[in-house]
């Protein structure tokens, strides 16, 4: 099985989460005596449920060997998880709707280096899929004592066709 990545836009990604970029800001404010534009509140965060607390982390991800092949997916039922790229590389975002997992509903997007993503609670997603070279991401997620990661294996590998 193979899947072709789609371009990432806030509209197509809305069922899964938020695209974090200045173009998607619903509100921007000029602050700091005119020297800064604040693109305000770019993601719908869910980080404080039950005993949860927000965390800032850096993920350093090595690209999978080509062709990139998806074999499993995961989700965090209790919290959102946001990734913002710190490299100049694009990256892949593979998701499926929250709830009962259906392989046929997997979608793959290609994000550019000025687009972050925020997975809403329960959204199925593949782990960090760097492209080109080792890439860092700033990750805003949740710490807490509860189990907060479900995983599923795909019934067959899904190859991402990057030759579009």
Binding site for its own copies (CB under 8 A): 20-22, 25, 31-33, 35-43, 45, 47-48, 53-62, 64, 82, 84, 86, 116, 118, 127-128, 136, 138-140, 143
Q: Which is nearer to its own copies, 11 or 27 (CB)?
A: 27
Identity of the residue, 61 or 89, whose beta carbon is nearer to its own copies in the bound complex: 61
Least distance from C-beta 77 to its own copies, angstroms? 18
Please state the closest distance from residue 69 (CB atom) to its own copies, in A. 12
* 70: CB partners within 8 A, 6+ apart: 94, 106, 108, 126, 154, 157, 158, 159, 160
Nearest CA to 39 out of 20, 54, 56 is that of: 20
- Which SS3 state, helix, strand or coil, does residue 62 take? coil
At which residue do the structure tokens 């499926």 appear? 96
Query: Whole-angstrom Cα distance, residue 133 to residue 155?
Result: 29
Kindly state the DSSP code that residue 61 receives in the 8-state scheme. Answer: E
- The nearest distance, CB 74 to its own copies, in angstroms, is 9
CB of 67 to its own copies, least distance (A): 15
């Amino acid at each position: 099985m193979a899947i072709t990545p789609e371009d990432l836009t806030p509209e197509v990604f809305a069922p899964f989460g938020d695209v974090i970029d200045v173009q998607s800001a619903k509100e921007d404010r000029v602050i700091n005596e005119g020297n800064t534009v604040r693109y305000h509140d770019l993601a719908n965060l869910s980080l404080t449920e039950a005993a949860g607390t927000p965390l800032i982390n850096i993920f350093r991800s090595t690209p999978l060997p080509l062709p990139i092949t998806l074999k499993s997916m995961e989700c965090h039922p209790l919290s959102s998880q946001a990734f913002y790229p710190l490299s100049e590389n694009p990256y892949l975002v593979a998701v499926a709707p929250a709830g009962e997992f259906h392989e046929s509903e997997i979608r793959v997007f290609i994000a550019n280096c000025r687009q972050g993503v925020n997975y809403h609670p329960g959204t199925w997603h593949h782990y960090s899929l760097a492209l080109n070279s080792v890439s860092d991401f700033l990750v805003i997620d949740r710490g807490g004592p509860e189990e907060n990661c479900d995983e599923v294996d795909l019934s067959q590998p899904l190859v991402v066709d990057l030759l579009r």
